């Protein structure tokens, strides 16, 4: 593994240099190879503590961070927000001060407020890892997406990925498109006009229909879930209409199969909305690989970050 100056926190993709991105992606590879062994643990973070602090629901990210930390031999605490004093009105900063007194080395935080992990990072010596904040960022998702795409397209510069769905409300779309762009991968977007933000990323190719997508010729289609929980207004006529216009139906799947196009999705999926049962069984789906790579990438990030609590 090459050497690179460690940093304290991972809050977004924008602040990462290409060298830092490649360092994490390269270091994730030997961590993934570890998963083939009967003993999947290394002593890298023995004696260190990782606190998982999820203010929003999560299946993949929370369990993946937990597995990653335990494979590095760290002690992991899952802070149960729903049964904590947060429900009695304790403020975020009071909670952080209490947790700071426990001297955690790493805090993994997901919160509905954009920028909250950054605020926490300023108030703690622990390394803070953003596990998703509002519409803003989901940096480890982007890194695992890049690792997954690199595995199937090792010569990734100049390749094309189209992101389909609710770009406006998606922190995944923001972080993953930024990271792919930094790596020289072309990014297209398809979705209802009301869910495509104006002027956020000028580098993204706007596509108007699935026919446009197939004309553009992406190497991978990256589907997003419609985030009904983040929508305050009505952004499209209805779920059935959305599925008809933007869902990966049987005909579109056949075209992907003919072209050998990869399928990606960050999860959780909404079957019958952006994807069908048939598409979930597609032989070029990378969805399970994304989950597996999530553990390897998070091990690489935990290994790289250096808390201010750490003297050695
Ligand atoms: N991809 C992702 O963030 O999934 P979870 O919400 O299950 O963590």
**Centre of ligand 1 from the C-alpha of residue 269, in Å:** 10
Say if residue 268 is preceded by a cis peptide, omega within 30 of 0.
Answer: yes
Q: Which CATH number fits domain 18-137+292-310: 2.60.420.10, 3.40.50.1370, 3.30.1380.10, 3.40.50.10490?
A: 3.40.50.1370
* pLDDT, tens digit only, all 312 positions of the chain: 456 888 999 999 999 999 999 999 999 999 999 999 999 999 999 999 999 999 999 999 999 999 999 999 999 999 877 766 777 778 888 888 887 888 899 999 999 999 999 999 999 999 999 999 999 999 999 999 999 999 999 999 999 999 999 999 899 999 999 999 999 999 999 999 988 988 777 899 999 999 999 999 999 999 999 876 655 556 676 888 899 999 999 999 999 999 999 999 999 999 999 999 999 999 999 999 999 999 999 999 999 999 997 666
Q: What is the best residue among 58, 66, 111, 269 to mutate for testing ligand 1's pocket, by most ligand atoms within 8 Å of CB?
A: 58
Pocket of ligand 1 (CB under 6 A): 58-61, 132, 141, 266-268
Q: What is the best residue among 267, 270, 290 to mutate for testing ligand 1's pocket, by most ligand atoms within 8 Å of CB?
A: 267
Residue owning the nearest CA to atom 3 of ligand 1 = 61
**Centre of ligand 1 from the C-alpha of residue 312, in Å:** 33
For position 229, what pLDDT does the model report?
Answer: 61
Residue owning the nearest CA to atom 1 of ligand 1 = 266
Domain-wise residue ranges, the chain: 18-137+292-310, 139-287
pTM over 0.85? The answer is yes
Q: Exposed/middle/buried for 153, CB within 10 Å: 0-12, 13-18, 19+?
A: middle
Phi-psi region of 132 (alpha: psi -120 to 50; beta: other; left: phi over 0): left
- How many C-beta atoms lie closer than 10 Å to residue 154's C-beta? 8
Residue owning the nearest CA to atom 4 of ligand 1 = 60
Phi-psi region of 57 (alpha: psi -120 to 50; beta: other; left: phi over 0): beta
Cα atoms in the 13 Å half-sphere on the side-chain side of 49: 15
For position 92, what pLDDT does the model report?
Answer: 83
Q: Distance (Å, rounded) from C-alpha 301 to C-alpha 305?
A: 6
**Centre of ligand 1 from the C-alpha of residue 193, in Å:** 25
How far is C-alpha 98 from the geometric centre of its chain's CA atoms? 28
For position 86, what pLDDT does the model report?
Answer: 72
CATH topology of domain 139-287: Rossmann fold (3.40.50)
Q: Distance (Å, rounded) from C-alpha 7 to C-alpha 168?
A: 30
Q: Do domains 18-137+292-310 and 139-287 have the same CATH topology?
A: yes
């Amino acid at each position: 593994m090459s050497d690179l100056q460690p940093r304290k926190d991972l809050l977004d993709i924008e602040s990462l240099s290409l060298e830092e991105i490649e360092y994490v992606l390269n270091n994730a590879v030997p961590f993934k190879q570890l998963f083939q062994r009967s003993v999947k643990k290394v002593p890298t973070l023995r004696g260190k503590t990782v606190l998982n602090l999820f203010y929003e629901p999560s299946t993949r990210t929370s369990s993946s961070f937990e597995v990653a930390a335990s494979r590095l031999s760290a002690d992991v605490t899952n802070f149960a927000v729903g049964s904590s004093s947060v429900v009695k009105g304790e403020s975020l900063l009071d909670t952080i001060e209490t947790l700071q007194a426990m001297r955690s080395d790493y805090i993994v935080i997901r919160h509905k407020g954009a920028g909250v992990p950054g605020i926490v990072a300023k108030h703690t010596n622990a390394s803070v890892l953003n596990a998703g904040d509002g519409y803003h960022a989901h940096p480890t998702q982007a890194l695992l997406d890049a690792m997954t795409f690199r595995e199937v397209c090792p010569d990734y510069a100049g390749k094309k990925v189209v992101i389909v769905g609710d770009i406006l409300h998606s922190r995944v779309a923001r972080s993953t498109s930024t990271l792919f762009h930094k790596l020289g991968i072309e990014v297209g977007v398809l979705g209802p006009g009301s869910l495509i933000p104006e002027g956020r990323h000028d580098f993204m190719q706007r596509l108007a229909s699935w026919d446009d997508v197939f004309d553009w010729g992406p190497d991978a289609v990256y589907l997003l879930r419609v985030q009904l929980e983040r929508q305050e207004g009505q952004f499209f006529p209805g779920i059935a209409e959305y599925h008809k216009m933007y869902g990966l139906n049987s005909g579109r799947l056949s075209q992907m199969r003919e072209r050998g196009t990869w399928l990606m999705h960050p999860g959780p999926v909404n079957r019958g909305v952006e994807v069908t049962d048939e598409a979930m069984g597609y032989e070029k789906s990378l969805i399970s690989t994304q989950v597996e790579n999530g553990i390897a990438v998070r091990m690489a990030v935990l290994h790289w970050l250096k808390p201010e609590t750490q003297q050695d």
